[in-house]
Chains A and B, each alone.
Chain A
Amino acid sequence: MGKKKTPEINSSSTADIAFLLLCYFLMTTTMGDQSGLQRRLPPIPDKDQKVENQKANRRNIVIVRINSADKLFAGSEPMDISLLKEKMKEFLSNPADDPNLPEKEPKEIEGKTYMVSKGIISLQNDRGTSYQAYIAVQNELVKAVNELRDEFSMREFGRKFAFLTEEQQDIVKKAVPQNISEAEPKDTGKK
């Protein structure tokens, strides 16, 4: 008789309490989506060594330029952004050993010798260039390097870059370097 009448704690309101907590956390927090294009800025050159830095061979440098009207120039000719990736891949890989494209240098990485391109992409922009266009070009350049790394990984390890082990990825990163330099800003284009 007595057993049946033991009063139970009414638990239906715990759900409400939990909902309140949930709402609080939903309002005060943000989903952490921090992704982007990672870069290393060149250090400020010392006054004495300034000359040496610019001695890189002419054939090893391509200048990609975005002017203040967001028009793209690769080398010296105007170019559409959709063609930039292929052009840069050709520049960095130099498949036909064209004397006008960057030279390659044998380099020993982890016991094997690879031909590493010495090509450098120099990215220049005006003060009036829009950030959107700048990032779009940066993205194409990164995509070109990433595709070259994928091709290299397929040749060497039979797998795409993302599926390699960390040591293998390091080898690929050294064999296909991401040489994108962001030049000193030019003071042209008003805004």
Chain B
Amino acid sequence: MSKFGGSNNKKNVPGISSGSLSDIVFMLLFFFMVTTQLRETENKVIVKLPEASESAKLERKDLSANINIGTPVRHLQSMYGTDARIQLNDSFKTIADIRDFIAAERDAMSEAERSLMTVNLRVDEDVRMGIVSDVKQELRRCSALKIMYASRKPGGE
């Protein structure tokens, strides 16, 4: 008669239904599918963004071109050294390659949206300004004038 585990009513103990478990997991799955985006390129440089409290969100993420600047990741340091390098798409490049990179990014966009292109400079906080200035000068020469210094809000990741 007792509610809990009498030996005579073993058959009637209701099992926990796990049918809704998959629904819950699917909900989680959809959440992550909506809020994240596919990683397009592998990072070959270490980029720890500097902190800036006034950083604002980029509105059109699809209209941005990324330029990463930092020291190469550990397993590439034997080949490329520890000096700061520029990464465009998937490989190390030099200042002279930026022109082609910008042109390629422009070509990938529709004509109306080309003027809205933002170049997202993801630069490690320990990098010296010399290389950044060189990149900026080259961008001016390519007339890609809209840039963003990527940064993170203090306290957050």
What is A's interface to B at a CB cutoff of 8 Å? 11-12, 14-15, 17-19, 21-22, 25-26, 28-44, 125-132, 134-136, 138-139, 142-143, 146, 182, 184-185, 191
Main secondary structure of the interface of B (DSSP, over half): mixed
Residue of B nearest to A146 (CB): B54
- A35 touching B147, Cβ below 8 Å: no
Of the candidates A43, A128, A182, the one whose C-beta lies within 8 Å of that of B128 is A128
Question: Can you list 5 pairs linking A and B with CB atoms under 8 Å apart?
Answer: A14-B22, A22-B25, A36-B121, A38-B56, A139-B53
- A35 touching B57, Cβ below 8 Å: yes
- A36 touching B148, Cβ below 8 Å: yes
A129 contact set on B, CB distance < 8 A: 128-129
- A37 touching B52, Cβ below 8 Å: yes
What is B's interface to A at a CB cutoff of 8 Å? 18-19, 21-22, 25-26, 28-29, 32-33, 35-39, 49-58, 61, 64, 118, 120-121, 123-130, 132-134, 136-137, 139-141, 143, 145-153, 157
- A43 touching B151, Cβ below 8 Å: no
A44 contact set on B, CB distance < 8 A: 140-141, 143
B148 contact set on A, CB distance < 8 A: 34, 36-39
Of the candidates B28, B33, B38, B64, the one whose C-beta lies within 8 Å of that of A34 is B64
**Which of the listed residues A31, A34, A126, A135 has the most CB atoms from chain B within 10 Å of its own CB?**
A34
A37 contact set on B, CB distance < 8 A: 52, 54-56, 148-149, 151
Residue of A nearest to B48 (CB): A132
- A35 touching B58, Cβ below 8 Å: yes
A156 to chain B minimum Cβ distance, whole angstroms, is 22
